[in-house]
Amino acid sequence: MEAGAATAPGPSAPPRGAPPENILLDVRDLRTYFHLADGLVKAVDGVSFSIARGETLGVVGESGCGKSVTAMTIMRLLETPPAEVVSGEIWLNDQELLGIPETEMRTVRGNDVAMIFQEPMSSLNPVFSIGDQISEAVRVHLKLSKHDAWDKAIDSLQQVGINSPERRVKQYPHEMSGGMRQRVMIAMALSCNPKLIIADEPTTALDVTIQAQILELLRTVQQKTGAALMLITHDLGVVAEMVQDVMVMYAGRVVEQGTVEEVLLQPKHPYTEGLLASIPSKGRRGQRLNVIKGTVANPFNLPKGCNFAPRCPFRFEPCPDHDPRVDDPGGPPAACWLWKPAPGYSVAPRVEQGARTASGGEAQIP
């Protein structure tokens, strides 16, 4: 606790107490650090966001930017140590998840919040039949009999569009393809009617045609059940298709947050703009692909000021020394000194110019 308090600049204290009725998940100033032999990694460093009931939030960012750790922290699935949640609050309805005991958390997992993992190939236990795995969740939470749970498993398989579920339910994971297994994972997640589904790159391991099917499936089940969805992905195409709100993460921090139109059409943060520009497109055949220069900041040794400063094309004087993190939800749209006055500056450059994107011009949507 000391380490976190000492190294993190104290942000303005978030309001205490349960969030309003329409907010399902409210994460406030979450910091998850890993104490490793090589040093301290601030995997998640002051992340705040909320998801309204039935809404979809997309979380995007490069590998290692803290997307999955955020999700795991919400589920409290990280091992402590090495992980430590240094500060923050996670409100699910009127329940604060970080404060409740593990036994109580177990009734939240799978029941109120369900998670879909990236690797359908390894997320199912090879020694259990599909039916056993789905009905286990149901039996743990809904306290159904073995027989009823089995029927429920068949039901859920039907829901996720698996043909002849009565036969499939008896099969083992190795008898199914990747797409099928991901459907099974979704069936498992849905079986207890969760209020929130966290999907951690659910389509990354699948081939493109199956990806579309799985996304479509996620969308329909979400509409049917009214569950909220937190969709973690690094595919901006998926974001454009699936979500209402987007949160862009970089090196453990939220750099930009907004509706999907705002973020994709008028990217405020140079990192978001870089991400958008690096999507390959048919029209630019023969040219070099756009990349964001440099590599993700070394997690053991983050820059003092803005984490993105070393790679940023718009870097100016305050960037290397001053941290532009967004402290309050109503504040500037991006954690960037282009959009809010840096210490010693009276106005922010882009605000002064009346620009709508980070580069000041039109957004470079491929």
Q: Which amino acid is at 244?
A: Q
Instruction: Report d(CA 92, CA 112) in Å as an integer.
Output: 9
Stretch that binds another protein, among 28-36, 43-51, 167-175, 301-309 (CB under 8 A): 167-175
190 binds another protein (CB under 8 A): no
Q: How many residues bind another protein (CB under 8 A)?
A: 39
Closest C-alpha among 331, 336, 268 to residue 305? 336
117 binds another protein (CB under 8 A): yes
Six-digit token pair at 238? 């998926």
- Of these, 17, 126, 344, 361, which contacts another protein (CB under 8 A)? 126
Stretch that binds another protein, among 12-20, 93-101, 136-144, 270-278 (CB under 8 A): 136-144
208-225 helix and 178-190 helix, angle to the nearest 10 degrees: 10
136 binds another protein (CB under 8 A): yes
To the nearest whole angstrom, how small is the minimum distance from the Cβ of residue 155 to another protein? Answer: 17
142 binds another protein (CB under 8 A): no
To the nearest whole angstrom, how small is the minimum distance from the Cβ of residue 243 to another protein? Answer: 21
125 binds another protein (CB under 8 A): yes
259 binds another protein (CB under 8 A): no
114 binds another protein (CB under 8 A): yes
Closest CB to another protein among residues 111, 225: 111
Closest CB to another protein among residues 175, 261: 175
- In this structure, are residues 333 and 259 in contact, taking their beta carbons and an 8 Å threshold? no
- Of these, 122, 145, 259, 281, which contacts another protein (CB under 8 A)? 122
Closest C-alpha among 31, 64, 65, 27 to residue 248? 65
204 binds another protein (CB under 8 A): no
- Of these, 124, 206, 319, 336, which contacts another protein (CB under 8 A)? 124
- Of these, 95, 172, 262, 266, which contacts another protein (CB under 8 A)? 172
Stretch that binds another protein, among 17-25, 89-97, 166-174, 296-304 (CB under 8 A): 166-174
Closest CB to another protein among residues 170, 293: 170
Task: Give the residues lining the site for another protein (CB under 8 A).
Answer: 75, 77, 79, 106-111, 114-115, 117, 119, 122-129, 136-137, 140-141, 162-164, 167, 170-172, 174-177, 180, 185, 188
